[in-house]
Amino acid sequence: MTPSYLQGDLAPVPDETDAHDLPVDGVLPAELTGRYFRNGPNPLPGQDPGHWFAGHGMLHGVRLRDGRAEWYRNRWTRTTSFTDDPLFLTDSGETDSGERDLAAVTANTSVIRHSERIFALVESGLPYEIGPELDTIGSCDFGGRLTTAMTAHPKEDPRTGELLFFGYGFAPPYLTYHRLSAGGELVESRQVEVPGPTMMHDFAITENHVVWLDLPVLFDMEVAMERRGLPYRWDDAYGARLGVMGRADGRVRWFDVDPCYVFHVGNAHEDAAGRVVLDAIRYTPRSFQGLWERISGGTGGVPGPAAPGDVRLGASLHRWTLDPESGIAKDEHLDDRATEFPTVNPARTGLPSRYLYTVAHNTIVKYDVETGASDVRETGGATGEAVFVPSGNARAEDDGWLMSIVTAGNDSSLRVLDAGTLESVATVRLPRRVPAGFHGSWFADS
């Protein structure tokens, strides 16, 4: 029986292809001259990686220039796990010596640009540099200075141009903070004490702080030895806490919170009282269990399926307000809608922001987190992360566009929406179905 993560919207494509002069419905703004890249897992034909998250990374790219869609192409990222052993090195991601090979990864989660270099990322290893035509240049350790894995969700500080990120490990040090200069040099690495090997997928920054998510999904060697896929399990005994670390001094203040999990944060900022406000997509233990069962083919680390029809089965938008003075964490549930992949205007990363964009199965949702209002745009298909692209002459935070790949059956398209109104601007019809994936980015021409 074909597992759920190899069927339907998740089913991989079997090859690489190129197409030129793509048909466009509507009018592409001439200002949108650059490349849209989207990353996601795509096992080779005949492979079963054991989990949706574990397939080899494939990039899908669309080149826009002066109101035209010049090309589409897709390419597997040539990591060493892809080129040396397409059937995967081991189920646990370990080499025979027991040490992690940080270059033997899937690079299947996100794609970013920093200091004019493009990187495909996955949290279990080194970044892989990618060329503008989607060719793989090779793994990168920033001159030998990066000795840990690199998160797939680094944060570029819009004030300084620095890239802040972290790596988590299966053995001590469990968590290491890193900082790249605006020019791409690794200038700081700092260990952060946490009790165990949590699956820390994302984090947040503010003007003066880093926000850590130390939550109860842990690496487990027994799970790794028992089955293929991802070796993590929910552990009630671990507890759940958020950490606020000073960027200048590295001191961390921890806040206990109700058990939950967060794959993706929306944004964080410091309010007028000096408190840290974090907006994120929060899974309850039950909703995390339901997701993990679906994307691991029923081999999740938590016993029993989630109840069908549970309105909280999906994750939803949540806010924590963390007061470093009092040590109090305030919870605020912002919406019951099941949603994921939050994005903001990148110019507001770590700063107060009014608008947050998320996606559900066939909708894009725009939240006004100041008023609590939301707007919904139906897309008619499985909808990928909505990437915000600011207008060059922006007069407001939401002055720009959203880009998302939408797949309906065997048809996929790159949708361009007005970020202010969610009205359709243009649709680029792609030559093939694009499987559901993870994260994308827009790289404007320099």
Q: Burial of 406 by CB count in 10 Å (0-12 exposed, 13-18 middle, 19+ buried)?
A: buried
Nearest 10 degrees: Cα torsion 12, 14, 15, 21: -60
| DSSP bridge pairs for 68 | 65
Q: What is the pLDDT of residue 361?
A: 79
Tell me the CATH number at 397. 2.120.10.30
H/E stretch holding 83 reads helix 80-84
Lowest-confidence region among 18-22, 50-54, 383-387: 50-54
> How many CB atoms within 10 Å of residue 58?
28
Q: Burial of 424 by CB count in 10 Å (0-12 exposed, 13-18 middle, 19+ buried)?
A: middle
Query: What value does the mean pLDDT of the chain take?
Result: 91
Task: Kindly indicate the confidence band of residue 101, based on its pLDDT and cuts at 50, 70 and 90.
Answer: confident
Taken in order 16, 21, 26, 29, is the CA torsion positive or negative? Answer: positive
Looking at the chain, how many residues does it have? 446
| DSSP bridge pairs for 365 | 358, 376
- 210-250 confidence digits (pLDDT tens): 999 999 999 988 877 776 668 899 999 999 999 999 999 99
Q: Which amino acid is present at 43?
A: P
H runs (alpha helix) in 306-423: none
Q: Which amino acid is present at 320?
A: W
Whether the upstream peptide bond of residue 173 has omega within 30° of 0, thus cis, is: yes
Number of domains, the chain: 1
- 324-373 confidence digits (pLDDT tens): 989 999 999 999 999 999 999 999 999 999 999 999 879 999 999 999 99
Q: What is the pLDDT of residue 222?
A: 80
> How many CB atoms within 10 Å of residue 109?
23
Nearest residue to 175 via CA among 191, 154, 186: 191
Domain span holding position 271: 4-444
| DSSP bridge pairs for 374 | 367
- 261-272 confidence digits (pLDDT tens): 999 999 999 999
Task: Give dist(CA 177, CA 172) in Å, integer.
Answer: 13
Q: In the sheet where 117-121 sits, what is the strand order?
A: 110-114, 117-121, 128-130, 136-139
Q: Is the pTM of the predicted complex or chain greater than 0.85? A: yes
State the Rg of the chain over Cα.
21
Q: Which amino acid is present at 120?
A: A
- 187-200 confidence digits (pLDDT tens): 999 999 999 999 99
Q: What is the pLDDT of residue 228?
A: 65
